[in-house]
Structure 1
Amino acid sequence: MPTITPAQAGGANRCAFLDAIANSEIGPALLAETQNGYNVLVGSTPAHPLTFSSYATHPDILNQALNSTAAGRYQLLYRYWGSYSKMLNLPDFGPLSQDKIALQQIRECNALLFIDAGNFAHAVALCSRIWASLPGNDYGQHQNAIALLQSYYTAAGGTLA
């Protein structure tokens, strides 16, 4: 589960949606082997976890094989860290800050109302431009099936319309 509480996030469905994204981006095995994904670098696998040790700021570590600086539970690219950090007045890149950034990204996709209403599939479609592992984008990376994502969401306490 995310660090942010349902009261802070605006409801249990929002926390469950964050959990679905993390499971999609990082996978249950890697979430279990790390600090719930909050310290994961792009390119990690359960057999070869790549992590960072300080939450002081986004680690800005380039995975040259993937040409990506994605890091954290929601695989935020470094180029977005500065603007979100300032916008949300974040003290660090810690778990709560990562949750707040992900919620802001979901807000920018206009998906919060659909999450709150339990319209999971539509919320996923709206957010697929942010997270490559969600179905419906053209990033050319592995996309998880909506049924799998929905199972993560409901297992985390999310309700469906």
Structure 2
Amino acid sequence: MPFWRHPSPSLQPLSLLLLLGTLPLLCSAATPGQLPAKRIQPLPASNLGSGRVETKGPGLYELTAERRAALETIRYAEGTWKGGSSIGYRILYGGGTFNSFERHPDTVVVKRYASAAAGAYQFLPGTWEAATRSLGLSGFGPASQDQAALHLIERRGALAELDRGVLTDQAINRLAQEWASFPTASGGSAYGQPSKSVEQLRAFHRESLRRHQLRREGAPA
């Protein structure tokens, strides 16, 4: 389905879309666009059930304490954190849920706006398809979603900074180009949607990182 062309990829009010006679599929996560593709070793389907992917192939993402904190912060911003519950991986745009992890649900939800975003990181179908091709992912389960999100973080140039365990202004601005719930350097969402403040994101990130670092060291979180 072709997208309606607009100077900004932000969500459009449903009334305006109906007036124009078109209803595009939109979501809170941005499509990577023209960023260069990176070929990554296919991920063995048998390993997708665990939180950490073990493989001898290059290019797959280890779930370190720093990366877990980054992923959880994105979920917090996107409204899919749900206290750390796995239900966050089943969230559709608008707050509903889907049942099967077999594939991206690709279900359009109309709630003032129209969107087919789904999962913990609110992937658009096209964004998800591109990530699965690059990573060789199978299914839409939690481990696959985590891997795809790390892939998008890396493509936006924020992974190396986040690996240092600090949510810098630069990292936030880069993530804002992918997730509308992150504020840009100029303030507010890049896509005209509600966003978390820098202070809210950093406070959540610090607590998440502290918890995972304690677990890594074997201390009670």
Question: Could you tell me the TM-score, scaled by structure 1's length?
Answer: 0.84
Equivalent position SS for 1:144: coil
> What is the aligned counterpart of 2:173 among 113, 117, 125?
125
Conserved 8 A contact 2:80-2:121: no
Structure 2 residue runs of 5 or longer lacking an equivalent are 1-49, 55-60, 214-221
Find the counterpart in structure 2 of residue 18 from structure 1: 71
Once the 2 structures are TM-superposed, how far is the Cα of residue 10 of structure 1 from its aligned partner?
Answer: 5.1
The structure whose Rg is larger is 2
Q: Which moved more, 1:142-151 or 1:10-19?
A: 10-19
User: Structure 2 CA distance, aligned partners of 1:82 and 1:109?
Assistant: 17
Alignment partners' CA distance in 2, 1:111 and 1:95: 21
What's the offset of the Cα at 1:152? Answer: 1.4
Q: Report SS of the residue matched to 1:157.
A: helix
Q: Which runs of 5+ in 1 are unaligned?
A: 45-49
1:1-161 counterparts in 2 under 5 A?
4-5=51-52, 9=62, 11-26=64-79, 28=81, 31-32=82-83, 35-44=86-95, 50-65=96-111, 66-121=113-168, 122-136=170-184, 137-157=189-209
The alignment-based identity, stated in percent, is 32
What is the identity, as a one-letter code, of the residue corresponding to 2:159? L
Aligned residue-pair number: 150
Please tell me the root mean square deviation across aligned C-alpha atoms, in Å.
2.2
SS in 1 for 2:192: coil
Secondary structure at 1:120 match in 2: coil
Match of 1:156, SS state, is helix
Q: Distance in 1 between matches of 2:200 and 2:53?
A: 23
**Distance between the aligned counterparts of 2:80 and 2:103, measured in 1?**
23
Identify if the C-alpha distance between structure 1 residues 85 and 20 changes in structure 2 by more than 3 Å, giving closer, same or farther: same
* C-alpha contact 1:9 1:15 (8 A) present in aligned 2: no
| TM value normalised by structure 2 | 0.62
Structure showing the higher helix proportion among its residues: 1
Specify the code of the residue in structure 1 equivalent to 2:69: A
**What is the rounded CA distance, in whole Å, between the counterparts of 1:17 and 1:98 in structure 2?**
14
With 65-74 and 100-109 compared, the bigger mean Cα shift is at 65-74
